[in-house]
Amino acid sequence: MEERVLEMKAEVLKALAQPTRLKILEFLRNGERCICEIVPAINGEQSNISRHISLMQKSHLVSTRKDGVKVMVKVKDPKIFEILDSISIVLKNQVSEQSKLMRSL
Amino acid sequence: MEERVLEMKAEVLKALAQPTRLKILEFLRNGERCICEIVPAINGEQSNISRHISLMQKSHLVSTRKDGVKVMVKVKDPKIFEILDSISIVLKNQVSEQSKLMRSL
DNA sequence: GGATTATATGATTAATGAATCATATAATCA
DNA sequence: TGATTATATGATTCATTAATCATATAATCC
Q: Give me the half-sphere count of Cα atoms (radius 13 Å) on the Cβ side of residue A52.
A: 20
Which CATH number characterizes residue A21's domain? 1.10.10.10
The answer to the question of residue B62 being in a domain is: yes
Tell whether the torsion through CA atoms of B20, B23, B28 and B33 is positive or negative: negative
With beta carbons less than 8 A apart as the criterion, state whether B67 and B34 touch: yes
What residue of A is the nearest CA neighbor of B84?
A9
Q: Which domain holds residue B58?
A: 3-76
Q: Is the CB of A86 under 7 A from strand C?
A: no
- DSSP, collapsed to helix, strand or coil, labels residue B12 as helix
Put simply, the answer to whether B10 touches A18 (Cβ < 8 Å) is: yes
The answer to the question of residue B25 being in a domain is: yes
Global pTM reads 0.94
A93: how many CB neighbours lie within 10 A of its CB? 15
Put simply, the answer to whether B9 touches A91 (Cβ < 8 Å) is: yes
Which tens digit of pLDDT belongs to each residue from A52-67?
999 999 999 999 999 9
- Bases on strand D under 7 Å from any protein CB: 5-10, 17-23, 26-29
Which tens digit of pLDDT belongs to each residue from B16-64?
999 999 999 999 999 999 999 999 999 999 999 999 999 999 999 999 9
Number of helices and strands (H, E) in chain A? 5, 3
What residue of B is the nearest CA neighbor of A80?
B90
The answer to the question of residue B102 being in a domain is: no
**Domain count of the fold of chain B:** 1
The answer to the question of residue A95 being in a domain is: no
The answer to the question of residue B12 being in a domain is: yes
